[in-house]
């Protein structure tokens, strides 16, 4: 926290999925956002919403976090890797959970589903030839 307040630069905290909600509870309980805001810092919280089997859990996590957010600082990542982010014919920005918290959302970014026959093969080839890491 001391570094966030006193050092120049942009900081990224990646807690990982399993630790995020406990970490967020700590952030709220310690009034970390207020302290950072008082120090002139802007805080943005990035949240993935994943499709497929993960949709329900990621929507619950988003809802929990958005309920506790008091400002417009949420950046939502729509991740279709495991399937479309849709339920009952509605896209994320049409769902009730989005509409309830829309005023807290800065924006949504999409990681769209790609064709495994074309894009997927390109990624596999890139990895097999180690073209994704210039040091290899």
**Tens-place pLDDT, residues 31-84:** 999 999 999 999 999 999 999 999 999 999 999 999 988 889 999 999 998 889
Within 10 angstroms of residue 87's Cβ, the number of other Cβ atoms is 16
pLDDT one-digit tens code per residue, 33-42:
999 999 999 9
Between 111 and 81, name the one with better pLDDT. 81
* Cα–Cα distance for residue pair 65/108, rounded to 1 Å: 16
Judged by DSSP in three states, 33 sits in helix
Query: E-assigned strands of 1-136?
Result: 45-50, 74-79, 86-87, 90-91, 105-111
pLDDT surpassing 70 at residue 135: no
Range 119-130 average pLDDT:
72
- Which DSSP helix (H) or strand (E) runs through 117? none
Q: Is the dihedral of CA 32, 97, 73, 114 positive or negative?
A: positive
Look at the pTM and tell me if it is higher than 0.85.
Answer: no
Residue ranges per structural domain of the chain: 2-128
């Amino acid at each position: 926290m001391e570094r966030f307040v006193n050092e120049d630069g942009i900081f990224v905290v990646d807690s990982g999925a399993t630790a995020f909600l406990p970490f967020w509870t700590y952030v709220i309980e310690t009034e970390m956002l207020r302290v950072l805001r008082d120090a002139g810092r802007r805080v943005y919280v990035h949240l993935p919403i994943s499709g497929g089997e993960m949709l329900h859990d990621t929507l619950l996590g988003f809802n929990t976090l958005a309920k506790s957010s008091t400002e417009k600082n949420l950046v939502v990542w729509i991740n279709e890797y495991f399937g479309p982010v849709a339920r009952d014919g509605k896209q994320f920005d049409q769902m009730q959970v989005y509409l309830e918290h829309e005023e807290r959302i800065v924006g949504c970014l999409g990681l769209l589903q790609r064709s495994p026959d074309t894009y997927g093969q390109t990624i596999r080839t890139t990895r097999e030839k180690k073209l994704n890491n210039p040091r290899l």
